[in-house]
Amino acid sequence: MKRGLFILAAFLMVVASLQAQKGKISVGGGLAYGTEIKKMGINLRGYYGITDKIDAAPSFTYFFPDKEEYFGGETKWNVWEFNLDGHYKFVESDQYNVYGIAGLNFTGTHWSSNYEFENPITGQTEKYDDSDSDLNIGLNIGAGGQYNFNEKLGAFTELKYVISNYDQLVITFGIIYGL
């Protein structure tokens, strides 16, 4: 969890630093779905226009935690990802744009397990607790599109494949607001 808070703080610092630079800046968020973990998540993002065709696009997604209960115990796990992507606009107009995505992916996982069992030798109830975290670096490749309702407000959708030890397709959609 500490690592997740660190990544979220880094994301917010990147977005804040982008505001001090010249170029078009947008922020937004939405929902994401990971096809391998089969979970929905909340996505936060920022865009910074480097050129007319290229945007820097950091994003953070926290997937909703999962819990499995079994006789005498439970296992909990959660997954988050931080992405440093670039968007190349293939098609662009005032109303919409279509872009390719390439970038770095940082995926973090955390699980914890605890259960009680009766020790057959002593006959006493004993508790077992264990947890572990992992951080993996990978690559993103995909495509997305944005539809602009007006100069400030738009909707976006993306299909992005994460190439790493946690390979999966991530489908994201949401709202973007130009600052």
Global pTM reads: 0.78
Measured CA distances, 53 to 40, 66, 71, 92, 146 (Å): 30, 39, 56, 8, 14
Per-residue pLDDT tens digits for 8-35: 555 545 544 444 335 789 999 999 999 9
Report domain extents, the chain.
Answer: 2-178
Alpha-carbon span 81 to 69, nearest angstrom: 25
Which of 79, 136, 80 has the alpha carbon at shortest distance from 111?
79
Paired tokens of 104: 């770095």
What are the phi and psi torsion angles at 14 (to 5°)?
A: -65, -45
Residue 92 and residue 70 in contact, taking contact as beta carbons nearer than 8 Å: no
Per-residue pLDDT tens digits for 34-85: 999 999 999 999 999 999 899 999 999 999 998 888 777 888 889 999 999 9
How many residues make up the chain in this entry? 179
Per-residue pLDDT tens digits for 131-165: 888 999 999 999 999 999 998 999 999 999 999 99
Per CATH, is 2-178 categorized as 2.40.160.20? yes
Which of 31, 40, 84 has the alpha carbon at shortest distance from 63?
40
Does the CA dihedral 17-9-169-155 come out positive or negative? negative
